Amino acid sequence: MLAIVNPLIGIPLFMSVTEQMDSAQRNRAARSTAITVFTVLTVSILAGEFILGLFGINVMDFSIAGGILVLLMAINMLNARVDGGARISADERLEASQRASAAIVPLGIPLLAGPGAISTAIIVAGVSGAPQHKIILVGLCVVIGLLTYAALRASRRVSRLFGITGMNIVNRIMGLILAAVAVSFIMNGIQRLFPILATPLPAATATVQAQ
């Protein structure tokens, strides 16, 4: 979840949006973005499966679709596309520079807590129906929100420290992690749709096939 939210992705846009703000205003904007990310992820975890059920979509189907979406975003990140590809359009970026609520839209949604992050939150929440599982995930959302706030509040220092090359390296590493996560989502969805694929081969059959 941290890899797909990736607060560093929001730093360039955050800096351009808050360029004319003083320190206090930038801190408030960073806080609004972090709260937005936390809220979207938490709602996805607690109510995502219920919302899918209203549309007749089960978690297995969503796991495959979400995995494909996350994989496409991971490929864009591996190609060092700072905005993660389809996260935010040019029109949204232009509008962000002209509105006071840009910390919520499009910074919080869809740049950081976009379709990929929502899909990931719903899928990981569906791994277990135990209440403590979701409590742990909500706790992780708090951590992600705090990291987002810290990264945006220190955006100018982070930008000077990493530079363009450093940011691209971090995005590629996150993209590689996301690619592996996406493949796992897709495989889990396929195995739940076709349980026979998850059944281990008998030792003798596996040996014959290997030969």
* Domain housing 154: 2-210
- Average per-residue pLDDT for the chain: 81
CA pair distance 71, 162, nearest whole angstrom: 25
For the stretch 64-88, pLDDT in tens is 888 888 888 888 888 866 554 445 5
Residues 1, 116 contacting (CB under 8 angstroms): no
Rounded percentage of the chain residues whose pLDDT exceeds 70: 83
Listed residue (5, 4, 8) closest to 157, CA to CA: 8
How many domains are contained in the chain?
A: 1
Structure-model confidence comparison of residues 42 and 191, the more confident one: 42
Question: SS3 of 97, please?
Answer: coil
pLDDT at 4: 85
Give 6's contacts (C-beta < 8 A, 6+ positions apart): 77, 84, 112, 170, 171, 174
